[in-house]
Structure 1
């Protein structure tokens, strides 16, 4: 029933957009006509983009992207990229009614999303490993083990791109499974006027708009303003999904060789927690009494459960072409996020009778400040018959967060019981006895190079390498509120590594492109062993053999791959020395 409703909602949105387009065309025509002269019927103006006009960060006409910057940091056709990559376009997201990033990649191979139904996070897992997320090529989710993780609204995105396999050679510290790159909507020279009004199940009320165009007749200054406002319940009682999102962007093009784009966004989420941690008995299988718990059951306390997150970011993307050979790019972003999170949750059945659930409480929150800078110099030249697209870059990432977590009890023992079939709310939330405060600063400096060599018209060889220096300082403080006891633990990291990749592809006739690649990755590890020696970074390596197929003249793109992916120096608890 929900799927049918989503399809109708999409059609209503399209009808509203078409109505605005018709009204705008008629108004423009009326102004152009002489006074007193009737206006002849005229169809709305339609902008048609040729396939060759697509860029690696811009809009895509349809579902099939042909270019991307994620895998190489250069604007490269997917058919010339010796790595598995998927691009979920804006049009596909709209037609599927995508509301979150997790929903965007729900039909992509090799990736799964955690908490897809729940509104707090997007936590992708690619090829079996938790994946880092990037926004316009810069890292965003610094603290993946806690609750303080930014989440960008999918309506503000032009594309969602999945890069499979180790990618440290261009991005630094990363899991070997791959990464997610979110591409923001950017100003367009074509006038865009879109307004959406939605009403859905669970009392969902949402309005959004997307406005873009040129400020002057020479199209030197372009703007875009994207926004979304939502007030909604969820399938879980007493759990909200309210959001404010607004993203202004401005592009300045003083010449054909220079582009400066300012990218900003603000997002405020006021939500409950739809994750209830319900037991297997009563959900997956019936209880011992043959009963099942309703999906609308809320394990928390309506006056206590809250998830209030605020984030904002400001940055820019700059590019300047010196001549036909050299061009420079720089991407910069500062991002801030803070969170207040309190809740009551279920911790299992109280007895073998499976009639009441035990509950605990949580008080968490914190602040995150990050800055990322990526500067690249690209050179396009030839050495004899070989055409080169060479990239040299340096990037720096700095993140600092303060995180607080405390666990407590509810009501009187045993831990605030609640009947899932006849819930009674209003239990006392007991004071939390102790908190853990974590303060961490992360730094990563990387220098990288890459050469995309066109050996012949059909044969391409890609080689790249990177040297990283990663460091962090983590201070964990255990605070007892009863006697103000404090236990402080400090864990430093100071590690470096060299990663590389090699790739070869052949563009055969009929749109068939077989390829082979080998790539490596690394992840810093905190702490020391029993002898006091720092742990080695966890490294990964992958050999991938694949084929890409894009039939000439068709609007389709197929990729198939097999791979051997391995990790080394993974931290493992010593069974002979329990903690």
Structure 2
């Protein structure tokens, strides 16, 4: 493992060092309005360790965004969640309506919902509806010790709304720019006079146009859940959801020519559509059903099990700009998918906790199984038709015919056995150690050509950490984690590719003293991923790619006064990729800014105008490099505003404005360039009980 080397200005910041620990605790809908504003409570999360533990006492880097913040910032998609947290890049592909895009510490990540993997295979993308979530948790860095095969960026875990002990509800209406319309219903509570059975029902209808001409999306969503407290020791919660999207895909692909680069014909407008009106479509239906079971045997041992079955049906016809073929002419490509995805996931955990005079020990023993299958017809044609880049006219294309399509079947299976022990000594030291064994297999079959690619791997992942808890709330820690990700296919000698493997070394500090109503966290880290596929000088795909990130993060959420809350984050990422087969120096990784920062302020008026809250924030994203075109994408800053007013008894009016100045900017380039999101204005009226 190479040493972590930061620029001199950042080396001075090591004494501040990172991750994250606490945030506002989630509260019921109406209680949010009545509760005293405070960050005193430590967030208890099961994502970082798969055991409910205050994050401030965890030697792992993690962040939490709760339901109150999701509602206050009017988060409409999962990739908007962590805009005001350190280490996360999102929005780099613009206002995409069919995929959630993240880069975490310079890498991709795995997405989970309720502790179970959401499979996203190619264009078969499962999209969690944020109105159905009570919080979203982020574990940064390699996480294979608990979650098996995954990229080294980390794990995002979306937690669904659950039944509540007390009756409560919300009826919500929204309207805004781009013909945005939304109606939401969220009701929960005991069933009848029962004190052991409760329900929750969340429903939503939303329709809106996209930032690009002719694009749109209409969504129907319903998520019922039922909790049965079988006894004092046993609880069972059933969770289900059904979501249907009818959309015209966003397709923000544009060339550097006309966006970042000047042309004799001017520039390409951000709203320019390169698809075909009436032909492009994205019809997606996703369904899931599962349960969460917990049973306590005694004061020491508890068994937990999460299970889910899910299905996704997709019809996607998406035409996009492929490459420039003339001074004004571009050649378009097409992506076609008509198929389905199904998956089973189950996670079994046995948790034991015991005490001595000086110690508290928590042992986690787990077995999980994940199975995925996709079946469908597909086409990837990079030279489908041509169009004028600057003034497109439509209709010059030949629709896809059945003879053009390939039938493909992809299966994934993974079985994992994991063991983790957390030891607390003298209420001062926390020691964490874990190991996992995985057996993973991926088979990609081209049924039309009668060919297949396979990845079959057994892998051991390790992790460890140590933290010191000082009386003044200053808690330094050191951690080590690993990741792996199978690659389907064989090399030029016919041998199966080895999995990508990643490792992270991190030193951080979590600072949450009693005198501070909030937290400050900081960290330095080094992540390295090996065995990436690159093209050798002889033209073969070889596993000689190395990707590395050396970084520093600083994050804080705190009340400066009883009425004024601050959320702030800064990230430094030195992300590079290296093709060691060509003897060329490592290059800056595409899409990853070296510097990014954000700040958000909330002020609740208590005396002058009770019920009024004003908020606003700014997001700065530094410049990025595009190694494909040799282009530098300039930095940008956008400002968001929020105003909320509670009137009468249970009514709340809210206004959210993102990108207030309607700044036009290119968010990123990676051969293609993508304009950032335009200004959006959304008004919300809610009745809560």
TM-score normalised over the length of structure 1: 0.83
Q: CA deviation at 1:156?
A: 0.8
Larger radius of gyration: 1
Q: CA deviation at 1:99?
A: 0.3
Aligned to 1:15: none
Are 2:292 and 2:304, in contact at CA under 8 Å, matched by a contact in 1?
A: yes
Change (3 A) 1:348 1:409: closer
Change (3 A) 1:442 1:558: same
Aligned to 1:92: 69
1:166 and 2:142 aligned: yes
Aligned to 1:110: 87
Map Cα deviations across residues 233-276 of structure 1 (whole Å, 9 max, x no partner): 12222111111111101100122221101011111111112224
SS at match of 1:372: strand
Map Cα deviations across residues 45-76 of structure 1 (whole Å, 9 max, x no partner): 98759x9xxxxxxxxx7798621100110110
Which sits farther off after the overlay, 371-380 or 490-499? Answer: 490-499
SS at match of 1:102: helix
1:379 and 2:352 aligned: yes
SS at match of 1:420: coil
Aligned to 2:649: none
Are 1:249 and 1:263, in contact at CA under 8 Å, matched by a contact in 2?
A: yes
Aligned to 1:500: 462
CA distance in 1: counterparts of 2:439 and 2:171, whole angstroms: 46
Aligned to 1:436: 406
CA distance in 2: counterparts of 1:466 and 1:211, whole angstroms: 40
Aligned to 1:509: 471
Residue 464 (structure 1) aligned to one of 427, 430, 434? 434
Are 1:63 and 1:89, in contact at CA under 8 Å, matched by a contact in 2?
A: no
Listed as ranges, the matches of 1:218-233 within 5 Å are 218-233=194-209
CA distance in 2: counterparts of 1:265 and 1:431, whole angstroms: 33
Are 1:169 and 1:520, in contact at CA under 8 Å, matched by a contact in 2?
A: yes
RMSD of aligned Cα (Å)? 2.5
Residue 311 (structure 1) aligned to one of 270, 274, 286? 286
Q: CA deviation at 1:532?
A: 3.3
Residue 316 (structure 2) aligned to one of 319, 332, 341? 341
- Which has a greater percent of helix? 1
Q: CA deviation at 1:286?
A: 4.0
Map Cα deviations across residues 134-170 of structure 1 (whole Å, 9 max, x no partner): 1111111241xx2111111111111111111111111
Q: CA deviation at 1:363?
A: 2.2
CA distance in 2: counterparts of 1:470 and 1:261, whole angstroms: 29
Aligned to 2:11: none
1:83 and 2:60 aligned: yes
CA distance in 1: counterparts of 2:118 and 2:108, whole angstroms: 14
1:206 and 2:182 aligned: yes
CA distance in 2: counterparts of 1:338 and 1:95, whole angstroms: 32
Residue 128 (structure 1) aligned to one of 106, 127, 137? 106
Are 2:442 and 2:486, in contact at CA under 8 Å, matched by a contact in 1?
A: no
Change (3 A) 1:196 1:402: same
Q: CA deviation at 1:123?
A: 2.6
Q: CA deviation at 1:453?
A: 0.5
Change (3 A) 1:47 1:324: farther
1:327 and 2:289 aligned: no
Change (3 A) 1:464 1:364: same
CA distance in 2: counterparts of 1:440 and 1:410, whole angstroms: 26
Which fold has the larger relative contact order, with Cα–Cα distance below 8 Å and residues 6 or more apart in sequence?
2
Q: CA deviation at 1:302?
A: 1.1
Q: CA deviation at 1:420?
A: 3.5
Map Cα deviations across residues 191-214 of structure 1 (whole Å, 9 max, x no partner): 221011111111111101111111
Aligned to 2:115: 137
Aligned to 1:8: none
Q: Which runs of 5+ in 2 are unaligned?
A: 1-27, 542-689
Map Cα deviations across residues 455-512 of structure 1 (whole Å, 9 max, x no partner): 11121111111111111222124x5xxxxxxx22212222111111111001112211
Aligned to 1:243: 219
1:187 and 2:187 aligned: no
- Which has a greater percent of strand? 2
Aligned to 2:507: 545
CA distance in 1: counterparts of 2:106 and 2:382, whole angstroms: 35
Paired residues, number = 512
CA distance in 2: counterparts of 1:284 and 1:166, whole angstroms: 34
Residue 402 (structure 1) aligned to one of 375, 378, 381? 375
Q: CA deviation at 1:401?
A: 0.7
